[in-house]
Chain A
């Protein structure tokens, strides 16, 4: 899109700035829309699990307008701030959380090439930014001036920082298989039938997925790991003193993060936007058949991706309404005693699996470069600096314009 704007003769800063803003707007729509959907799903699914109906009337049928109605109700609520609260941090905290979650979506590819910012270290960026969400929660807990909030914040800090370790180890396993940290690249490598999905790649990736799922739920503070906001213990944890819009922002951040982590799981283990059956390529909906076919194929891919991510969200909702809550010592013990060693084992296992399979099967170019190169260093092609100055950061250079990727190619 930015290249298109540049061709129209915009100044580069204006072109890139406006393209960035438009993309940010699209991401914002996504970040606002997915919590609404997830919330409605949670209400309906929880209702069914509990032998009741959930919302039925708002918006005519199925209560499909329930989430916006809730949002409007929250907006109209009185905005309370305790006298003991720290006014600045109290106000700031929800937006900090929300911003971090917003940034998660920036690198999430929804279809081939449809990532707001494709990047070869997208996965690393995702992990780094995911760690920032906790800061909003900590500030909220501290700034509320309530002991329950402080408890919630401390639990959150301990839990999230702990679970970042096994999560990081888990996501490295598909990276080892793919040999790339680029989420688009990882997803592209799983094209074809569902047997190409990384979860079916080898026993280690299969087991890793389950560790990933548990750790992601713990990192997201979803039940049964929802200790920072355990309502029967800490009233509402860090969110005790929040009401109205600011509470809604926290809430949206939580649900959007659920979606983002489900999406990451779909990309890493379930083929990303690739369906279980390569229908799109049968129908010829690939970009080699022209831009329209590529666009339609991408639409199909987008649908695929959203369905997978929502399936992950559904599983989280299902777990929440089925399981009791763990205790904080059990949660932390689970992290350090089970998840971290298991994830490490999986990592070592998958490295050996790759090495052995490389020996047995003919080395593929997309295989693990780590293994190949340790015995035979890569061909060291010398880039031409300073004649050609490729940029590390997907910030534009004129020379790299043609390959700029955007939400729309």
Chain B
């Protein structure tokens, strides 16, 4: 079960990260906490991409996605950085208005 490392191992870790991220997004009231949840979700997905790219981890290597997986992961990382920047800018703007980053109070679209 613990040896050798297979795709399933990676998927389990990815699933845990993904679930924690989703729960974070749902359960946190702090806007930055929600943002961290998003990062976790993306990271869990990335882990799957990376694992899928490696043919040695599975018994049917022909189905491995190869370098495309790594490229996808790269794009996800870079886009996540941009997303974080925008989300942070929004959070700061929001904080400026309400002196708080509680998303439960964010119920109007007016700036």
Contacts and interface: CB of A to CB of B under 8 A. Distances in A.
Interface of A: 385-386, 389
A306 to B, nearest CB: 37
A386 B55 CA distance: 9
Contacts of A386: 55-56, 61
Interface string B61-82: 1000000000000000000000
Chain B interface, >50% SS class: helix
B88 to A, nearest CB: 12
Interface of B: 55-56, 61
Contacts of A385: 55
Chain A to chain B: the 5 pairs with minimum beta-carbon distance, closest first: A386-B61, A389-B56, A386-B56, A386-B55, A385-B55
B80 to A, nearest CB: 16
A389 B4 CA distance: 16
B41 to A, nearest CB: 22
5 contacts: A385-B55, A386-B55, A386-B56, A386-B61, A389-B56
A389 B55 CA distance: 11
B107 to A, nearest CB: 30
A389 B56 CA distance: 9
Contacts of B56: 386, 389
A12 B55 CA distance: 23
Contacts of B61: 386
A44 to B, nearest CB: 44
A192 B80 CA distance: 45
A386 B61 CA distance: 9
A270 to B, nearest CB: 33
Contacts of A389: 56
Nearest to A391: B56
A183 B55 CA distance: 30
Nearest to B54: A392
Nearest to B61: A386
B59 to A, nearest CB: 12
Nearest to A389: B56
Nearest to A385: B55
A362 B24 CA distance: 59
B33 to A, nearest CB: 16
A385 B61 CA distance: 10
A132 to B, nearest CB: 15
A404 B55 CA distance: 23
A125 B13 CA distance: 24
A299 to B, nearest CB: 40
A348 B5 CA distance: 44
A383 to B, nearest CB: 12
B100 to A, nearest CB: 19
A389 B57 CA distance: 12
A385 B53 CA distance: 14
B54 to A, nearest CB: 10
A309 B26 CA distance: 51
B35 to A, nearest CB: 17
A277 B74 CA distance: 43
